Amino acid sequence: NQGTFEYEFLKDLPVSEERKYKLEGYLFPDTYLLYEGVTAHEIIDKMLQRFDEIYTQQMRTAVAESGYTLDEIVTMASIIEAEIQVPEERKIAAGVIRNRLNAGMKLQMDATVLYAQGVTKEDVLYSDLEYDSPYNTYQVDGLPIGPISNPGAAALEAAIYPDENNYMYYVLEAQGSGNHIYTETYEEFLQAKENYKASKE
């Protein structure tokens, strides 16, 4: 949080006391060859350098034309990274996030609640949704205050090039499965949610 890193993509990074980790979202997850005695600053720099390589000129242009800042896109990508396991679903989920933002709906993404609390678990309880945090998208409007994970290339790509769909909701198909059911209406969502609950019994 205290280090100084000179990268073009970091120059407009929002500064806020409420952001947990200044560089969350930009420390690119990859395999790195490190030597003994390497410093934390050098490791962070390596990860930021990798982000800079992955974030192509074509992507930069698409972000500039999207109406969102890079930080907002990385935040969307971080939610996709945390919530979506099935590769083919990433762009669909990115479409849902955009649709909800465009409709002025709260995102209500479970992964943001867990990040806000600093916990990992399969089921989010109603009491968790009340957790007061600028990261909790059940409480705040729009995106959380910053990224909630460090997204890989696929999640970043999905956030930049989302699927154009009419889906507004998604829910896990069954307990233990990684895939989701996507729905356009709240009624369909409630039915899918009931099916998920039934799969746990």
Confidence band for 118, pLDDT divided at 50, 70 and 90: very high
SS3 170: strand
Mean pLDDT of 86-100: 97
- When pLDDT is averaged across residues 70-75 and rounded to a whole number, the result is 98
Which run of H or of E encompasses 50?
Answer: helix 40-54
Confidence of residue 125 (pLDDT cuts 50, 70, 90): confident
| Least confidently predicted of 135-144, 156-165, 168-177 | 168-177
Binning pLDDT at 50, 70 and 90, where does residue 201 land?
Answer: confident
Region 103-111: mean pLDDT is 96
Q: What is the pLDDT of residue 150?
A: 98
How confident is residue 154, by pLDDT bands cut at 50, 70 and 90? very high
Contact 78, 114 (CB under 8 A): no
Confidence check: pLDDT of 53 > 80: yes
pLDDT for res 120: 86
C-alpha distances in angstroms, 146 versus 22, 67, 72, 94, 142?
Answer: 9, 17, 8, 16, 11
- Residues 34 and 188: their CA atoms lie apart, in Å, by 49
User: Has residue 2 got a pLDDT over 90?
Assistant: no
pLDDT of residue 122: 76
Q: Would you place residue 66 in the very low, low, confident or very high pLDDT band (cuts 50, 70, 90)?
A: very high
pLDDT at 10: 95
What is the four-CA torsion angle of 72, 74, 78, 83, rounded to 10 degrees?
70
7: pLDDT strictly greater than 90: yes
Within 13 Å of residue 71, how many CA atoms lie on the same side as its CB? 16
